[in-house]
Amino acid sequence: MQQRKAGRPSGTDGSDFSYRMVVDSRYTKVAKGKSRLEALIFIQGIFQLIVLFYVALPISKGKDPNILAVSSSVIGLISLLIGELGRRRSRGGFLKFYLAMSTITVLLSISCAASSSSTLEFIQNPTEWETKKFELIETLVLLLGLLVQMFTISTVISLISNMSPPKKAS
């Protein structure tokens, strides 16, 4: 049994490099975009779990649930599952649906926070930040979620454009 030697393959002197196949740059962009999207989906999943915790906390205290916040969390979790399927299987339709639903989720979360009078009072009065840490964390999670959503939008748009077949020159 012959052992393989590291280095140049047998039968070549190394001058045939120009004939070797090169991966098209769009495929490397797709691979990088998929790995970036995987990290963004993971971060969004963490944010969704934090938001779900904040939605469930008043329910555990016997208060009525905020229907808008509950629906936002459910839509967010479903969109993350669809986004992960689209990322893994390179399905542009799934990624477009994920993009629309995750954007709606972020907008619903922001509208829930904006409609809450305690959040608005909290933001306007920085002297109460020490006593209202719950609202501070909730506001920071929403702002970070909005920032992550902006990165997600650009990543998904870039990924979909790189996944589509190249346009033929006419």
Contacts of 95 (CB under 8 A, 6+ apart): 83, 86, 87, 156, 159, 160
> What is the radius of gyration, based on Cα positions, of the chain?
24
Query: What percent of the chain has pLDDT above 90?
Result: 42
The pTM is what? 0.77
Q: Above 90 in pLDDT, residue 39?
A: yes
pLDDT digits (tens, 9 = 90+) for 41-75: 999 999 999 888 888 887 888 888 888 888 888 99
Return the higher-pLDDT residue of 16 and 49.
49
Please choose, from the candidates 89, 105, 85, the residue with its C-alpha nearest in 3D space to the C-alpha of residue 153.
Answer: 105
Q: Hey, what amino acid is at 65?
A: P
pLDDT digits (tens, 9 = 90+) for 110-157: 888 777 766 666 667 767 666 677 777 777 888 899 999 999 999 999
Show me where the domains of the chain are located: 35-119+129-163
